[in-house]
Structure 1
Amino acid sequence: MNYQTFEPNKNLNTFIKCYWTLESSKEEKNHRQTIVPDGCIEMIFHYGDLYSQYLENGDSTTQPRCFVIGQLTRPLIIEPTGITGIFSVRFHPDGFLPFTTLPIKDLENTAVSLEKLFGKIGQEIELKILNADSTSERINHIETFLLSRLTDIQTVDRIVKSTVDTILTANGQFSVDELSKQININRRQLERKFSTIIGLSPKQLSKTVRLQATLKMLLNNKYTSLTSLAYEGDYYDQAHFIKDFKEFTSLTPKEFYSNNLKMSSLFYGTD
């Protein structure tokens, strides 16, 4: 697998974390992959073969060729059906609101086609991205599309952005009460804002960010034991750490490391 990331235009970096591509060759075998929640909404374009997505009951469905997948609150199990070719826009946790036509919360754990989100212009940008000859051309097309929809910069909520920045800087280790005091806002008001703008509560985002930080230590071998890893992540104890880990990955830390190291390192060890 060849995974690469690209920086967004400075006019969009408030909203977009990065663009990324993932490609495979004919020789590479297909394996199921666990995508762990990371607090970001993604806009995915499959210019290669499609992916199967496995549901909680074990059934599978084929992902749309082009779609937005909302906030994940549980692990997403996917499997390539052939040769991978993916171009994706990874939004900051609070970055997708200015571009959506649907409530953010309605996108949770759901792959929504661009046609459903944007109508005819959604179909048009799909064709441009899929028919492009290079990543730079795809980036030019998607930035033109997104900038044309960015009509009101005031949709950026400064309170939410400040809180998100605090959560990211602290690796999710602040409680919601501590966050609301630091930002000087009522807890319920903060939770309503997060639900509308991000699609997660402050607690959910903090848990996600904390696990991601711990995952990176795991994948980069920056720990001496699971107990030390739990301590570094500011979990109450190892049992609390394993409970949260299984909630987001469906596996124990040991199982995840052995089964998913190669694929996960593409997404969590490089950006």
Structure 2
Amino acid sequence: MIVAYNKPKNPILQKYIEGYYFLTNTSGELENSYLTFPNNYCIVTITNKCDIKFEKEKVVLREDNSQTCLSTIISNYKKPIQIAYFGNIKELTVIFKPLGINHFLENKLMSYLNDSFEIFEPFPDYLQTKKIILSIEDIDKAKEVLENYWLSKLIPFDNSFLQTAINLLEDYEKNYTIQQVADNCMTSRQNLSKKFFAHLGKTPSDYKKINRFRNALNHFEEQKNIKNLSSLLLDSTFYDQSHFIKDFKSLTGKAPKDFFKNLDCTVGGDIKWSWT
């Protein structure tokens, strides 16, 4: 399997898209699969000539030339998801920053979502354009077409309210409660949660929990050291060891030490997988 990860070249897209990657799984390979873990991004994936089966906390992709282009979107999952590939498969995945995808959608993000993966066809020309992108052999040309397409869909979106709330939730030095975040935003806790779900697909509490978890993963990558979990605990702003272990077991299914043994941070960007 080859994964070619890219950051957006266009400075406008850099504000809204964390990165994107082209994944190629060849027909001569045996099953390739990995676990992906909760994050606060909105992830859009496109495949062509591929059958996709959605099982409980698992997605299976198989080469199938009778299938047409298919796109999915996911913005909120609280358990690891296994992604398995069989056969010759090309995939394009775009990772939108928190709130980022709202700058391209005519409707609220929540109208495109379900509990897990959901079929995603936001524009009349969307699937045909993505099919063309997947067929382009020249990777630089494919990247150019992809970025120009998303630029053509850019629309105004006022995110000042939610961005303020996000900044407060990520301020672990002051460690605001959800009620304090709502008070600072001069709104009710109920309205704050409603806005979060509408445009991020998750609650403020889930956002804070997942962001803290992702901070720990980033600190681990920087330290390159799983022996000193106490240092990692302090750097990633968990309250205490029990809180650290509880959140990791909840979001990864494993205790921190076991989880970090198999974590792969080499794909690029904020992608952290565990190969199975």
CA contact (8 A) 1:42 1:68 kept: yes
The one-letter amino acid of 1:199's match is G
**Gap change, CA 1:136 and 1:71, over 3 Å in 2:** farther
Q: Could you report, residue by residue, the CA deviation over 1:78-109 in whole angstroms, capped at 9, with x for unpaired residues?
A: 11213564322211111112434665335245
Give 5+ residue unaligned stretches, structure 1: none
Contact 2:19 2:269 in 1 (8 A): no
Q: Which residue of 2 aligns with 1:105?
A: 110
Conservation of the 8 A alpha-carbon contact between 1:215 and 1:268: no
Give the Cα–Cα distance (whole angstroms) in 1 for the partners of residues 61 and 25 of structure 2.
Answer: 19
Q: Percent identity?
A: 21
Are the aligned partners of 2:79 and 2:251 in contact in 1 as well (CA < 8 Å)? Answer: yes
Count the aligned residue pairs. 263
1:132 aligns with 2:133: no
Task: Give runs of aligned pairs for residues 121-270 of structure 1, distance below 5 A.
Answer: 121-151=125-155, 153=156, 155-168=157-170, 170=172, 174-219=176-221, 220-222=223-225, 224-258=227-261, 260-262=262-264, 264-267=265-268
Unaligned runs of 5+ in 2: 63-68
Q: Counterpart amino acid of 1:204?
A: D
Post-superposition shift, 1:233?
2.7
| TM-score between the two structures when normalised by the length of structure 1 | 0.78
* Alignment equivalent of 1:86, drawn from 68, 86, 91: 91
Question: More displaced, 12-21 or 71-80?
Answer: 12-21
Q: Does the CA-based 8 Å contact 1:16-1:91 persist in structure 2?
A: yes
2:95 is paired with a residue whose SS is strand
Offset, 1:267: 5.0
Q: Match of 2:146, SS?
A: helix
Q: Which moved more, 1:167-176 or 1:207-216?
A: 167-176
Please, what is the CA RMSD of the aligned residues? 3.4
2-structure distance, mates of 1:146, 1:23 = 22
**Which is richer in strand?**
2
CA distance change for structure 1 residues 16 and 128 in 2, over 3 Å: closer, same or farther? same
**Alpha-carbon distance in structure 1 between the residues aligned to 2:259 and 2:244:** 13
One-letter code of the match for 1:55? K
Q: Return the alpha-carbon distance in structure 2 between the equivalents of residues 168 and 27 of structure 1.
A: 45
CA distance in 1 between counterparts of 2:151 and 2:270 reads: 29
The worse-fitting range, judged by mean Cα deviation, of 96-105 and 65-74 is 96-105
**Greater relative contact order: 1 or 2 (C-alpha under 8 angstroms, separation 6 or more)?**
2
